[in-house]
Chain A
Amino acid sequence: EPEVTQTPSHQVTQMGQEVILRCVPISNHLYFYWYRQILGQKVEFLVSFYNNEISEKSEIFDDQFSVERPDGSNFTLKIRSTKLEDSAMYFCASSPHGLAGAYEQYFGPGTRLTVT
Chain B
Amino acid sequence: GNSVTQMEGPVTLSEEAFLTINCTYTATGYPSLFWYVQYPGEGLQLLLKATKADDKGSNKGFEATYRKETTSFHLEKGSVQVSDSAVYFCALSKPDRGSTLGRLYFGRGTQLTVWP
**A-side interface residues toward B, CB under 8 Å?**
3-4, 6, 31, 33, 35, 37, 40-45, 48, 50, 55-56, 91, 93, 95, 98-110
Is the interface on chain B under 10, 10 to 19, 20 to 34, or 35 or more residues? 20 to 34
> How far is it, in angstroms, between the C-alpha of A91 and the C-alpha of B44 when the chains are bound?
9
Q: Taking CB as reference atom, which chain A residue is nearest B50?
A: A101
Chain B interface mostly helix, strand, loop or mixed?
loop
A101-B97 CB under 8 A given contacts A42-B108, A43-B106, A48-B103: no
Q: Which of B17-25, B69-77, B78-86, B88-96 contacts A (4 or more CB under 8 A)?
A: B88-96
Task: Find out whether the CB atom of B49 lies under 8 angstroms from the CB atom of A101.
Answer: yes
Rounded to whole angstroms, the CA-CA distance of A35 and B91 in the bound complex is 13
Chain B residues contacting A35 (CB-CB under 8 Å) are 104, 106
Complex: how many Å from CA A4 to CA B95? 23
Q: Which residues of B contact A3 (CB under 8 A)?
A: 43
**Closest Cβ–Cβ distance, residue A103 to chain B (whole Å):** 7
By beta carbon, the residue of chain B nearest A55 is: B101
- In the complex the two chains form, is B51's CB within 8 Å of A101's CB? yes
Bound complex: CA of A41 vs CA of B106, how far in Å? 10
| B116 close to chain A: CB less than 8 A | no
**CB distance A42 to B41 under 8 Å?**
no
Interface centre among B4, B49, B93 (most CB of A within 10 A): B93
- A31-B101, A109-B41 known; 4 new pairs, CB 8 Å cut-off, are A43-B91, A93-B44, A100-B100, A103-B102
Given the interface pairs A56-B96, A100-B32, A109-B43, the reply to whether A45 lies near B102 with Cβ below 8 Å is no
How far, in whole Å, are A90 and B44 apart by their CA atoms in the complex? Answer: 12
Q: Which residues of A contact B4 (CB under 8 A)?
A: 42
Contact A55 B108 (CB under 8 A): no
